[in-house]
Chains A and B, each alone.
Chain A
Amino acid sequence: MPETTTEAGRDAAPAPFEPRIVAFFCNWCTYLAADLAGTTRLKYAPNIRVVRLMCSGRIDPQFVLDAFAQGADGVLIGGCHPGDCHYESGNYKTLRRFHLLRRMLRDLGIEEERFRLEWISASEAEPLRVAVNDMVEKVRALGPLNLAVPAEHAEEPEEVAVP
Chain B
Amino acid sequence: MTDKPKVAFYWCASCGGCEEAVVDLAEQVLDVVAAVDIVFWPVALDFKRKDVEAMADGSLAAAFINGAVRSTEQEEMVHLLRRKAQTVVAFGSCSHLGGIPGLANLFDRDGVLASAYLESPSTVNPDGVLPRPRSEEDGHRLTIPALFETVRSLDQVIDVDYYLPGCAPTPKLIAEAVMALLAGKLPPKGSVLAPDVALCDECPRKKTKPEQLALSAFKRPSEVILNEEECLLAQGVLCLGAATRSGCEAVCIKGNMPCTGCFGPTSRVKDQGAKALSGIASLVASNDAAEIERILGSIPDPVGTLYRYSLPSSLLRRRRPAAAAAAKG
Q: Which of B247-288 contact A (CB under 8 A)?
A: 269-271, 273-275, 277-278, 280-284, 286-287
Q: Closest approach, in angstroms, between the C-beta of A17 and any C-beta of chain B?
A: 15
Q: Closest approach, in angstroms, between the C-beta of B297 and any C-beta of chain A?
A: 9
By the criterion CB–CB under 8 Å, are A161 and B143 in contact? yes
B149 within 8 A of A: yes
By the criterion CB–CB under 8 Å, are B317 and A155 in contact? no
Bound: A103/B320 CA distance, A = 14
Measured CB to CB, the nearest residue on chain B to A61 is: B274
Measured CB to CB, the nearest residue on chain B to A101 is: B277
By the criterion CB–CB under 8 Å, are B316 and A69 in contact? yes
A154-B149, A159-B134, A159-B143 as given contacts; A97 in contact with B76, CB under 8 Å: no
A103-B302, A109-B322, A157-B72 as given contacts; A61 in contact with B278, CB under 8 Å: yes
B181 within 8 A of A: no
Scoring A61, A93, A100, A159 by chain B CB atoms within 10 A of each residue's CB, the highest score goes to A100
B25 within 8 A of A: no
Residues of B within 8 A of A82 (CB): 287
By the criterion CB–CB under 8 Å, are B145 and A161 in contact? yes
Q: Closest approach, in angstroms, between the C-beta of A87 and any C-beta of chain B?
A: 13
Residues of B within 8 A of A109 (CB): 319-324, 327
A99-B293, A161-B72 as given contacts; A150 in contact with B303, CB under 8 Å: no
Bound: A37/B112 CA distance, A = 50
Bound: A93/B277 CA distance, A = 11
A82-B287, A103-B302, A108-B316 as given contacts; A162 in contact with B149, CB under 8 Å: no
Partner of A61, one of B72, B277, B289, B301: B277
Measured CB to CB, the nearest residue on chain B to A161 is: B143
> For chain A, which range describes its interface: under 10, 10 to 19, 20 to 34, or 35 or more residues?
35 or more
By the criterion CB–CB under 8 Å, are B76 and A161 in contact? yes
By the criterion CB–CB under 8 Å, are B292 and A96 in contact? yes
Measured CB to CB, the nearest residue on chain B to A154 is: B149
Taking Cβ atoms with an 8 Å cutoff, the residues of A that contact B are 60-62, 64-66, 68-69, 82, 92-93, 95-97, 99-101, 103-104, 107-110, 145-147, 149-150, 152, 154-155, 157, 159-163
20 pairs of residues in contact across A and B, judged by CB atoms under 8 Å: A61-B277, A62-B275, A68-B315, A69-B315, A100-B277, A100-B280, A100-B302, A101-B274, A103-B302, A107-B303, A108-B316, A147-B320, A150-B318, A152-B152, A154-B150, A155-B146, A155-B149, A159-B72, A159-B145, A162-B141
